[in-house]
Chain A
Amino acid sequence: DAKTTQPPSMDCAEGRAANLPCNHSTISGNEYVYWYRQIHSQGPQYIIHGLKNNETNEMASLIITEDRKSSTLILPHATLRDTAVYYCIHRRAAGNMLTFGGGTRLMVKP
């Protein structure tokens, strides 16, 4: 997995939208963007993934720029339980090896 760039930390007020950016300028045409998060002492939790279209599920929305070199994960109404480290990676769908970078430590505050 190639390297992605994320801000090391962000704060968000409870109930507000959290927008987490990720730069992945070396992404290849057949690689997906995946987002995971990890709450302390737990395993990484899959959030969402996409290729080039924007995606939404019950947890979050994923906005991918037209050139696919960056994306934004949106948690529409952040709660205290969303406090975690969020990882963005890009890889081929049919592949197993994952490499997480430093991620963004999101702190949701009351």
Chain B
Amino acid sequence: KAGVTQTPRYLIKTRGQQVTLSCSPISGHRSVSWYQQTPGQGLQFLFEYFSETQRNKGNFPGRFSGRQFSNSRSEMNVSTLELGDSALYLCASRDTEESPLHFGNGTRLTVT
């Protein structure tokens, strides 16, 4: 099976712009979650989707949003980008609640 695929791999944006990141989970996995990883804050949970519904949400401002499609693919959107949004954004999927998370290689976003 192919792993979790995230696109694009790298992205450079300027402050005030918006960005959309894409994630394709492992085939058959219906749960997709998103994480932000920075050197200072470590790994932080953004949100989780299951069957097109947001199931959990972390402590991030409303500028961060996401959605999941019927084929389980997910997108994450960040509007009005700030310098502090520069980070590695990771997507993870799993097939059941008891299964471990499987991560993609992330999208490295740089905001200038």
Say yes or no: B48 contacts A96, CB within 8 Å.
yes
A105 at the interface (CB under 8 A from B): no
Evaluate contact between A98 and B35: CB separation under 8 angstroms. Answer: yes
Task: Tell me the smallest distance from the CB of B70 to a CB of chain A, in Å.
Answer: 21
Known: A95-B97, A97-B58. 7 other contacts (CB 8 A): A42-B106, A44-B90, A46-B100, A46-B102, A94-B97, A98-B101, A99-B45
Query: B84 on the interface (CB 8 Å rule)?
Result: no
Those of A74-100 within 8 Å (CB) of chain B: 93-100
- Measured between beta carbons, the chain A residues less than 8 angstroms from B44 are 99
- In the complex the two chains form, is A49's CB within 8 Å of B100's CB? yes
Binding site for B on A (CB under 8 A): 34, 41-46, 49, 93-102
Q: 10 closest Cβ contacts across the A-B interface?
A: A43-B103, A94-B97, A97-B45, A100-B43, A46-B100, A93-B98, A96-B48, A43-B105, A44-B103, A42-B105
The residues in B between 69 and 112 inclusive whose CB is less than 8 angstroms from any CB of A are 90, 92, 97-98, 100-106, 108
Give chain A's interface secondary structure class.
loop
User: Contacts A43-B4, A96-B33, A100-B42 hold; do A34 and B100 have CB atoms under 8 A apart?
Assistant: yes
- B100 A96 Cβ-Cβ under 8 A: no
Q: Which of A45, A98, A101 has the most CB of B within 10 A?
A: A98
A45 touches B56 (CB 8 A): no
> Within the complex, what minimum Cβ distance (angstroms) separates A1 from chain B?
9
Considering the chains assembled together, what is the distance between the CA atoms of A41 and B6 in angstroms?
Answer: 13
The residue of chain A having its C-beta at the shortest distance from the C-beta of B48 within the complex is A96
B22 within 8 A of A: no
In Å, the complex CA distance between A105 and B59 comes to 28
Is B24 among interface residues, defined by CB-CB distance under 8 A? Answer: no
